[in-house]
Homo-oligomer: A and B are copies of this chain.
């Protein structure tokens, strides 16, 4: 279409036959557990009864972002707090039926604010630990691997992790979240110093009630401050 050759192709009846889909890798974090991913049980062939990422074909008059949000809403009743494009998978043969190019997204939600499958049109939607994933349909395993890699890189220089926590959270939740995602121990003191130095946390008057030990103060994430800093070219970095 952008050059004569393509025009010829199009007008000579041999129309392109490729479908465009979106799929989302949505991460959820359950306090002190592994990172989880949202999967949908397929109720049609191929891979009927198997697990797959939420997603589906894009409508003709719908932007890509809107398509993912719609699918997530329909299939799992979820509206992610954070959602960004991940990568586009389009190799021949990744879907056994048609050629399908899938634009994938990385999303984050706090599962405690989202009841799964409220009014879903899918058989079943469920959270799976990234360490105990079932066999997956299509090339969805590869998509998840890509998403995990991206998440691990990204969380080290952008404070996206806050979307996975409750609105008010004790500092230790943030600590555990980072430990979980990065997959290694972090120095509590240095981590706290660093995070605090950015001034992105507001201290509340509340304290954590549950659990044993000394109750921790609860914090909220200062979204406005973050946007301010971001515009000034600020660069968050965690190791």
Measured CB to CB, the residues of A under 8 A from B are 1-7, 9-10, 16-21, 23, 40, 42-44, 52, 54-64, 71, 74-75, 85, 87-88, 90-92, 95, 97-101, 103, 121-122
Contact = CB atoms under 8 A, between A and B. Distances in A.
A57 B101 CA distance: 13
| Copies of this chain present | 2
A60 B18 contact: yes
Given A43-B4, A58-B90, A92-B63, A20 B21 contact: no
A74 B101 CA distance: 23
A99 B16 contact: no
A20 B101 CA distance: 8
A101 B100 contact: no
A61 B90 CA distance: 11
A54 B43 CA distance: 41
Contacts of A54: 2
Nearest to A104: B88
A59 B101 CA distance: 12
Contacts of A64: 88, 90-91, 101
B101 A16 contact: no
Given A6-B56, A61-B99, A101-B103, 8 more contacts: A1-B19, A1-B95, A2-B40, A3-B56, A18-B58, A64-B88, A64-B90, A90-B103
A5 B88 contact: no
B1 A100 contact: yes
A61 B92 contact: yes
Given A16-B57, A19-B16, A101-B101, A3 B90 contact: no
B43 A3 contact: yes
B2 A55 contact: yes
A49 to B, nearest CB: 13
